[in-house]
Amino acid sequence: MESPSLLRLLLLTVSLCCRPNKASLTLRPSTAQLFVRESLDLSCEEDSAGWTVKRNTTKKNMTECGDTWGDPAASSCTIFYTLPSDSGVYWCESREGATSNTVNITVTGGDVILQSPVLPVMEGAAVTLNCTTRTPSNLPADFYKDGSFIRTESTGQMTIHHVSKSDEGLYHCNISGYGQSPSSWLAVAVSPTTTTPTTPAPPPAPLLSPVRLLCHLVVFCPYCISTLLLVSLWRQRSAGPEPPVSMATVQGLDDEYDDVIADVTTEHDF
């Protein structure tokens, strides 16, 4: 009686252990740059429980939420008072060692930040980069990519309407009188495309090289010439010599001619 129950328990344990766990780290606010003394919520959206938020910083690596930083709650973590030391790479990790996507966060004590997506932007979508100060205002801002000037936006917002892989790079902005923001990496994800298999065209017929063509002609011409000679001889032999006209035949023709003349004369006299 115990064997079936034990077997079911083993199967359930194996299915739970072997089921692939997936999680994604989400942020609120969802921006790669923050000012100091702000609040940040990090959440592991997972298929099963048991995920924790971890990070690498310039001071410590592989530390998890609740270990000298953050306030853990289930599979999430809250930093109530951000500091420049909170800048680093964050991710979710399960008890089995599975990991989620990584997010790079920068906390600055400066007066300008560039609000940009923390997650990759899908190719073809639109993305807006917002250059702002501690007191949000639509001030003109200069935008840069990989250290090169792009353009100036009077509203402090730059929109890329159709993102492509070439837009991927390191962005920062500058507001005159306030300063420059830190740099953040804008990642672009390539959308999967379905390709319809095409039937390959048949290969073209191989062309004869001049040498091979000459060889074919040399072999083929004697047969043509011999055939023409045989046909000519056969036609001459079939025709044969013309038979001579005998005198008897000529005499017979003369007699018939005289009889016809006599008949015509007789009828005329009558």
Is 68:86 a contact under the CB 8 Å cutoff? no
Domain that holds residue 182: 112-191
The length of the chain in residues reads 270
pLDDT digits (tens, 9 = 90+) for 74-83: 889 999 999 9
Report whether pLDDT(162) > 70: yes
pLDDT digits (tens, 9 = 90+) for 34-47: 999 999 999 998 75
The structural domain count of the chain equals 2
Is 90:76 a contact under the CB 8 Å cutoff? no
Structure tokens at 100: 């989620």
Structure tokens at 140: 């003109």
State the CATH number of the domain containing residue 69.
2.60.40.10
63 and 143 share one domain: no
Query: H helices of the chain, where?
Result: 2-18, 210-239, 247-269
31 and 105 share one domain: yes
Rounded to whole angstroms, the Cα distance separating 245 from 243 reads 7
pTM, whole model, 2 decimals? 0.63
Rounded to whole angstroms, the Cα distance separating 141 from 170 reads 16
What is the reported pLDDT for 147? 96
